[in-house]
C-alpha cells in the first residue's frame, strides 16, 4: 500500500453501515474537515429539478464551460448529500472546465432502488432539455460518479440507451459499485480493506435492494448487452473489493465495441483519494478532471 495512504488508516472510523443515520452524521463530519477548494472561477447555484419527486441539485459552472456532467456522490446509496460532495464536485468542475450538476438523489434504506436511479434519470433529462438555459452544448452531456454513484451512473447510461433517452457523450466511473454478487477474486479476498469491507459492501447492497432481486439497472454488471454505450473512463483502486468487477466491466465494454480508458491506481484503496495530502490522490483527482476535459473537447 502507498505509505502516504497507509499512515491515515488508524484515523478512519469503523467501516460499518448498520446505522444509516449515524453513518450520515459521521460522513458529514469527515467531509467538513476536507479543505475547501478555490471556487472563485466558477458560479455555484442550488436549485430543484421538477420530477415525480423533486430532486435537489447543486450546479458548478466554470467560466466558458462547453459541456456538463451529471455527477453522483458515493456513500453506499445510504450516505452523502450536496454538502458532503461539495469538495469533490467543485474540484471536478475546476479540473475539467465542465459544468458539474451534483445530484442529491434519495437515499436507502428509506428509499430503495429504483428511487435513486429515477432521481438521476430525471436530472439527466432535465439537463438535456435545459441545455440552452445552462449554456451548454446538448451534445456534450456526460454522467459520472464515485463508488455507489459510479454504479448509478453506469445504470443511467444503460437506461438512456434502452429507453432512447438523452444522448450521453461520456461516462466517468470512479471505483463504481456494479455487482451485488461479490463473486470476483477481489471481492472474495479483500474482506477487511480500509474504508470498504466485504460486510460493509454487502450491507450497502441490502439497504439499496431490500428483498428485491437485482436487475441490470441496479447492478450494471448483470447487463447482458453492453453495446451502443458511450465511451468510458473507469478508475480502480488496487486494494478494493470492487476492483475486479470494475476491470471486468471495462473488458466487457471493450468487447462490445465501446471505447474505454481503464486506470488502475497502485497502492490505493476504495475512497483513498479523499486523503488529499497523498501524491497519488492528487494525481487521481487531476486525472478524473483531465479525462472529462478530453471527453468534452473531443
Positions annotated as catalytic residues are: 147, 240, 270
Helices (H), the chain: 3-6, 20-32, 82-96, 115-129, 131-134, 148-162, 185-189, 198-209, 243-255, 279-297
Q: Is 258 within 8 Å of 232 (Cβ atoms)? A: yes
Cα–Cα distance measured from residue 139 to residue 228, given in angstroms and rounded to the nearest whole number? 16
Q: Residue 278, class by beta-carbon neighbours within 10 Å (0-12 exposed, 13-18 middle, 19+ buried)?
A: buried
What are the cell numbers at 193? 480493506
Instruction: Take residue 261 and report the three cell numbers written for it.
Output: 480508458
The pairing of strands 99-104 and 55-62 is: antiparallel
Burial bucket for residue 33 (CB in 10 Å: 0-12, 13-18, 19+) = exposed
- According to DSSP, the β-strands at 99-104 and 170-174 are unpaired
Amino acid at each position: 500500500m502507498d505509505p502516504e495512504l497507509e499512515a491515515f488508516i488508524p484515523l478512519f472510523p469503523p467501516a460499518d453501515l448498520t446505522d444509516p443515520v449515524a453513518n450520515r452524521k459521521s460522513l458529514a463530519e469527515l467531509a467538513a474537515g476536507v479543505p475547501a477548494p478555490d471556487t472563485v472561477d466558477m458560479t455555484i447555484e442550488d436549485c430543484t429539478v421538477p420530477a415525480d419527486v423533486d430532486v435537489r441539485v447543486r450546479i458548478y459552472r466554470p467560466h466558458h464551460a462547453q459541456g456538463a456532467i451529471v455527477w453522483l456522490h458515493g456513500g453506499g446509496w445510504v450516505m452523502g448529500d450536496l454538502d458532503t460532495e461539495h469538495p469533490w464536485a467543485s474540484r471536478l468542475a475546476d479540473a475539467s472546465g465542465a459544468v458539474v450538476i451534483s445530484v442529491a438523489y434519495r437515499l436507502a434504506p428509506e428509499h430503495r432502488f429504483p428511487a435513486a436511479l429515477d432521481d438521476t434519470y430525471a436530472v439527466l433529462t432535465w439537463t438535456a432539455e435545459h441545455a440552452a438555459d445552462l449554456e451548454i452544448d446538448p451534445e456534450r452531456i456526460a454522467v459520472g460518479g464515485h463508488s455507489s454513484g459510479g454504479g448509478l451512473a453506469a445504470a443511467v447510461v444503460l437506461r438512456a440507451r434502452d429507453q432512447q433517452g438523452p444522448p450521453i457523450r461520456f461516462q466517468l466511473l470512479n471505483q463504481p459499485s456494479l455487482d451485488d454478487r461479490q463473486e470476483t477474486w477481489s471481492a472474495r479476498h479483500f474482506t477487511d480493506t480500509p474504508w470498504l469491507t466485504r460486510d460493509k459492501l454487502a450491507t450497502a447492497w441490502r439497504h439499496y435492494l431490500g428483498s428485491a432481486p437485482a436487475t441490470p439497472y441496479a447492478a450494471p454488471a448483470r447487463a447482458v448487452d453492453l453495446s451502443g454505450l458511450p465511451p468510458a473512463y473507469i478508475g480502480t483502486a488496487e486494494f478494493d473489493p470492487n476492483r475486479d468487477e470494475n476491470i471486468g466491466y471495462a473488458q466487457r465494454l471493450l468487447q462490445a465495441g465501446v471505447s474505454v480508458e481503464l486506470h488502475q491506481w497502485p497502492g490505493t484503496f476504495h475512497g483513498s483519494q479523499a486523503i488529499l495530502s497523498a501524491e497519488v490522490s492528487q494525481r487521481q483527482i487531476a486525472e478524473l478532471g483531465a479525462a472529462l476535459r478530453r471527453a468534452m473537447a473531443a
